[in-house]
Amino acid sequence: TDGTGTAARFRGISGITNDGTDLFVVESGGHRVRKITTAGVVTILAAPLTPTPGYVDSTTSGSVRFNTPIGIEYDSQSQLLYVGDTVNNRVRSINRNSPPGSTSTHAGSASTPVDGVVGGLSSSSILPGVSLRGLHAANDGTRQLIVECTTASAASIDVALVSTGSD
């Protein structure tokens, strides 16, 4: 339930990050991503009002569907939020600006299984049971998303693969 302060309700928080101003929370039980402002106002950033699992990328926030998202990271360089869409075996990004809540799939697929994830990862690789664990920024400016999958204990994905590179 959206609301301010204690009036807001959540279903299974499975990740939290911030962009320096607002907090962003992943709800695995609600299959959505929510935004909490500094005033304590909680709103849905990406997903419908009624918790509905599924897989839909969209430029319209209310049309987006996740299935048990786990883990969220904010990349200040691209200004995108990255979410591990666990049951859909994908890493997805959310634009928090324009249009807010629009999503894209940048890594993963339900149709091309691989054994593990380390090395050779492509946008069509399956990421079995993926959950996002972190974002690593190296001194040389490269960035990697740290993911965990059910078939590999830990792996990393170059953010250049999951973003447009220079954004």
What pLDDT is attached to residue 22?
95
What pLDDT is attached to residue 38?
94
Q: Has residue 79 got a pLDDT over 50?
A: yes
Q: Has residue 115 got a pLDDT over 50?
A: no
In Å, how far from its chain's centre is CA 151? Answer: 20
Q: Note the pTM of the prediction, 2 decimals.
A: 0.79
Residues whose CB falls within 8 Å of the CB of residue 140, separated by 6 or more in sequence, listed in order: none
Two tokens, residue 160: 């250049």
What pLDDT is attached to residue 26?
93
Which of 61-75, 87-101, 102-116 has the highest average model confidence (pLDDT)?
A: 61-75
Q: How confident is the model at residue 75 (pLDDT cuts 50, 70, 90)?
A: confident
What pLDDT is attached to residue 50?
85
In Å, how far from its chain's centre is CA 112? Answer: 20
Query: How far is Cα 81 from Cα 93, in angstroms, rounded to an integer?
Result: 5
What pLDDT is attached to residue 42?
93
Summarize the confidence of residues 45-62 as an average pLDDT: 88
Reported as a single tens digit per residue, the pLDDT across 144-167 is 666 666 655 455 555 554 432 333
Q: Are 125 and 116 in contact (CB under 8 A)?
A: no
Q: How confident is the model at residue 36 (pLDDT cuts 50, 70, 90)?
A: very high
- 72 vs 153, which has greater pLDDT? 72
